[in-house]
Amino acid sequence: MNIKRTAVPVLAALVAAGCQYPRDPEETLERVSGGTMYVGVVEDPPWVVLDEGKEPRGVEPTLIREFAAEIDAEIEWVEGSETELADAMRGFQLDVIVGGLTRSWLYAREVALTRPYVDTEIEFGVPPGQELPDDLDEVEIWVEQSSEAAALLQQEEGEAKPIYYDSLAEIQGPALLDDYELIAIGYERTDRIQRDEEHAMAVPMGENAFLVELEQFLLDRGQEAEELLDAEAKADAAEALRRAGEAPR
């Protein structure tokens, strides 16, 4: 069973008129290379996981550490809300923001987003051997409360009956999840897709040399990003099942 994702090509900048293009008005690439890169993180497992007292982990912190190693940069992690981090980036106080951001991110017009480096899908899945009815009227669908998937279920399948879960271990029937979550819990995908998600990272507006450097790195790591995503999602699902087994009944 394969996850349908695509690494998206990057249009690399070339040399024009005897001057290297693109440039960074704030000299971000030059400053962070051999210096310190300030990375804002928003928790969104498995993309970013924040454990108290520990450095961020997950798909994107792993990729950012590899990128930092390539440009010989130290990382200063900055935790905050999306609003706080976007505000800081507008003032050039952050060099990168990660946290499961997509091209439709609320603050996408206030920063520069890399070209998408991996695509995922929100789609219906079912336990092995089951089928999803064509008509979902009154059909119970497991979905995370207050999530994008829950909003899509309400908008597109308003007569379905949402069953909200706190942990993937609770799901016991048809569900609307990210594709990597379906794979992680052993569900069969139905190809009944509600939304495609193009994942990206954010950098300050106008810092084009730094943007291209990060984009080129992500292009080279497309396959690795998919493998990290699968591994992190499976680990999260396994941990949820372990905790469910230890919980008093």
pLDDT for res 1: 39
Would you state the structure tokens that stand for residue 231, as one six-digit string? 């591994």
Q: How many CB atoms lie within 10 A of CB 153?
A: 22
Candidate from 4-18, 39-53, 199-213, 214-228 with smallest mean pLDDT: 4-18
pLDDT for res 36: 98
Distance of CA 94 to the CA centre of its chain: 19
Q: pLDDT tier at 9 (50, 70, 90 boundaries)?
A: very low
| Domain assignment of residue 7, yes or no | no
Q: pLDDT tier at 71 (50, 70, 90 boundaries)?
A: very high
Q: How many CA atoms lie within 13 A of 87 on its CB side?
A: 6
**Do residue 163 and residue 77 come from a single domain?**
no
- Tell me what percent of the residues of the chain surpass a pLDDT of 70: 90
pLDDT for res 157: 93
CA dist 120 and 197 (Å) reads 5
**Do residue 142 and residue 20 come from a single domain?**
no
**Do residue 91 and residue 136 come from a single domain?**
no
Final residue in a domain of this structure, among 196, 222, 237: 196
pLDDT for res 18: 42
Q: Mean pLDDT for the chain?
A: 90
**Do residue 25 and residue 72 come from a single domain?**
yes
CA distances from 38 to 25, 114, 115 (A): 17, 17, 20
**Do residue 54 and residue 92 come from a single domain?**
yes
| Domain assignment of residue 227, yes or no | yes
**Do residue 94 and residue 172 come from a single domain?**
no
Convert 47-76 to b/e letters by CB count within 10 Å (16 or more is b): bbbbeeeeebbbbbbbbbeebbeebebebe
Which CATH number do you get for residue 151?
3.40.190.10
Can you give the residue range of the structural domain that contains 63? Answer: 15-117+200-246
Candidate from 4-13, 22-31, 197-206 with smallest mean pLDDT: 4-13
∠ CA 194-200-203, rounded to 5°: 145
Final residue in a domain of this structure, among 176, 196, 216: 196
pLDDT for res 143: 97
Q: Of 135, 183, 185, whose CA–CA distance to 165 is shortest?
A: 185
Q: Can you give the pTM of this predicted structure?
A: 0.85
Would you state the structure tokens that stand for residue 119, as one six-digit string? 């695509």
pLDDT for res 237: 86
Total domains in the fold of the chain: 2
Largest CA distance in the chain: 71
Q: pLDDT tier at 21 (50, 70, 90 boundaries)?
A: low
**Do residue 74 and residue 144 come from a single domain?**
no
| Domain assignment of residue 9, yes or no | no
**Do residue 27 and residue 87 come from a single domain?**
yes
Would you state the structure tokens that stand for residue 216, as one six-digit string? 């080129």
Q: pLDDT tier at 14 (50, 70, 90 boundaries)?
A: very low
| Domain assignment of residue 10, yes or no | no
**Do residue 175 and residue 224 come from a single domain?**
no
Whether pLDDT at 81 is above 80: yes
pLDDT by residue (tens digit) across 149-206?
999 999 999 899 999 999 899 999 999 999 999 999 999 999 999 999 999 999 999 9
**Do residue 235 and residue 113 come from a single domain?**
yes
Candidate from 77-86, 112-121, 236-245 with smallest mean pLDDT: 236-245
Please report which residue ranges of 135-221 form alpha helices under DSSP H. Answer: 148-156, 179-184, 208-220
* Residue bearing the bigger pLDDT, 15 or 99: 99
Please report which residue ranges of 48-190 form alpha helices under DSSP H. Answer: 59-70, 82-90, 148-156, 179-184
| Domain assignment of residue 207, yes or no | yes
pLDDT for res 20: 55
Q: pLDDT tier at 2 (50, 70, 90 boundaries)?
A: very low
